[in-house]
Amino acid sequence: MPETLPSDSVGIVEPQTAYFPESFTLANNRVLPEYQIVYETYGVLNQAKSNAVLICHALSGNHHAAGYHSMDDHKPGWWDNYIGPGKAIDTNKFFVVCPNNLGGCDGSTGPKSINPNTGKAWGAEFPSLRVRDWVHSQAQLADKLGIAQWAAVIGGSLGGMQAMRWSLEYPERLRYCIVIASSMRLTAQNIAFNETARQAIMSDPNFAEGNYIEQNVLPEKGLSVARMIGHITYLSDDGMGKKFGRDLQSGSFALGTEETVEFQIESYLRYQGRKFSASFDANTYILMTRALDYFDLAREYNNDAVGAFKKAQCKFLVISFTSDWRFSPERSREIVNALIHAERDVSYAEIESTYGHDAFLVKGQDRYDNIFRHYLKGIET
């Protein structure tokens, strides 16, 4: 909890809600009769409405990307390290919009919301979503805010997939696309991790086939294990070794004792799992990981990523991190190669880091910060 707010913080922020009363047809042809999107904004929209930046969140993110909700908050928003006055995404220059994605569990319409047709929580009945559904709903939000064209659409991981999809679905509605630690489609190994996480949730008796809210229980254990699996893959072997090594949280290996030994990494992962399962919705987790698995940028372009990107009109910045094995630099290079052969403007940097996939969130990485900062500085508003 901050005693006083740091000078480079966007300060105390308040989420807003945009309500869309018209029906919304999803990629799978199912229809949401109405929906709402919760979002936050930082900075000021200029008169020409040309300085707006859209932040697309990743799997477990939400609309709270920067600042604090109150002075009692323990932590600022999830990308506070890179959003704020004077930071890489400079709120003195840009009007930053970050929505909670449809299907989320932090206020936007999702499995926890009431299905107007039944009067009960959607639960497992909530329609499956594709990345494009998020992009289309974000476009409706942009319409509502009067933003005809984003200066930039920016996202890491699953957020990067949304940013790329934006460049194809609404090519004239963004000038720059920043894709960090992302991929044009997941590998089999990646889908395997997601499926293992889903199975952990579904095998929890409290999951109740997704109708746990109705039954007034929560699949906390399953969701917790799902998060632990995910968390391991977001860090690197090196990074984990540096942070925890084989240090013990409790117990001892002294001969002649029979104390239960607990490694720090065990206790850390359990803590992360517990914390996550208390705040996140299991159905949302399943839905988001499936959207990740289903995403394939070029599927509808005859699996030709070059052909797909020819549709884009914006300029691209692609960034990857050397120790990221979940969305490895190789995946980013595939994006870059497709962009080059599609004759799109693109720059690419591969940042040396031990933070694994999570690196895009971690502060204090000078090279990442500098590239991100200077690229955004060059964007005219």
Partner 1 sequence: MRIDHLAIDKWIAQNSRVLDLGCGDGSLLKHLSNSKQVHAYGLEISAEYIQACIEKGINVIEQDLDKGLENFKSDSFDTVIMSYTLQTMHYPDKVLRDMLRIGKEGIVTFPNFGHWNARLHLLFKGRMPVSTRLPYQWYNTPNIHFCTFRDFEKLCNEMKFNIVDHLVVSENTSSQILQKWKPNLFGETGIYRITRS
- The residues of the shown chain that bind partner 1, judged by CB under 8 A, are 333, 336-337, 340-341, 343, 345-350, 367, 370-371, 374-375, 377-378
Q: Which residues pair with 120 in a beta bridge?
A: 115
Nearer to partner 1, 96 or 346 (CB): 346
Q: Which residues pair with 262 in a beta bridge?
A: 250
Distance CA 290, CA 75 (A): 29
Distance CA 6, CA 8 (A): 5
Nearer to partner 1, 300 or 343 (CB): 343
Nearer to partner 1, 38 or 335 (CB): 335
Which of the residues are catalytic?
157, 324, 357
Is 43 buried (19+), middle (13-18) or exposed (0-12) by CB count in 10 A? buried
Quote the least distance from Cβ 40 to partner 1, whole Å. Answer: 28
Quote the least distance from Cβ 95 to partner 1, whole Å. Answer: 22
Nearer to partner 1, 274 or 341 (CB): 341
Q: Is 269 helix (H, G, I), strand (E, B) or coil?
A: helix
Nearer to partner 1, 234 or 348 (CB): 348
Distance CA 231, CA 155 (A): 19
Q: In degrees to the nearest 10, what's the CA dihedral of 66, 151, 101, 272?
A: -40
Quote the least distance from Cβ 312 to partner 1, whole Å. Answer: 14
Quote the least distance from Cβ 187 to partner 1, whole Å. Answer: 18
Nearer to partner 1, 363 or 374 (CB): 374
Phi, psi of 297 (to 5 degrees): -50, -45
Q: Which helix (H) or strand (E) holds 99?
A: strand 95-99
Quote the least distance from Cβ 82 to partner 1, whole Å. Answer: 16
Quote the least distance from Cβ 306 to partner 1, whole Å. Answer: 9
DSSP state of 32: E
303 sits in the region (left: phi over 0; alpha: psi -120 to 50; else beta) called left
Quote the least distance from Cβ 327 to partner 1, whole Å. Answer: 16
Helical residues (DSSP H) of the chain, grouped into ranges: 131-145, 158-169, 188-202, 220-234, 237-243, 264-279, 282-294, 305-309, 329-341, 366-377
Nearest C-alpha neighbor of 115 from the set 220, 241, 200, 211: 211
Taking each helix axis as running N to C, give the angle between helix 188-202 and helix 220-234, from 0 to 180 degrees, rounded to the nearest 10.
160
Nearer to partner 1, 166 or 321 (CB): 321
How many Cβ atoms sit within 10 Å of the Cβ of residue 11? 15
